[in-house]
Homo-oligomer: A and B are copies of this chain.
Amino acid sequence: MVQLGAKVWVVPGGHIPFGGTGPEPDFTSFDQLCVLNTTDSAAETTLLFYYQDTEPVGPYRIVVDARRIRHVRVNDLIDPEAVRLDRPYGCVLRSPVPVVVQFLRQDSRLPGVVALTGTMAHPVA
Q: Show the binding face of A for B, using Cβ within 8 Å.
A: 2, 4-5, 8, 10-15, 18, 22, 26-27, 32, 34-36, 38, 50-53, 55-56, 67-71, 88-90, 92, 99-105, 107, 109-124
Consensus secondary structure, chain A interface? strand
A102 / chain B contacts, CB cutoff of 8 Å:
11-13, 119, 122
Within the oligomer, what is the number of copies of this chain?
4
A71 nearest in chain B by CB position: B88
A34 / chain B contacts, CB cutoff of 8 Å:
12-14, 88, 90
Q: Give Cα distance in the complex from A52 to B92, angstroms.
A: 22
Which 5 pairs across A and B sit closest by C-beta, in order of nearness?
A: A13-B34, A13-B102, A12-B36, A36-B90, A116-B117
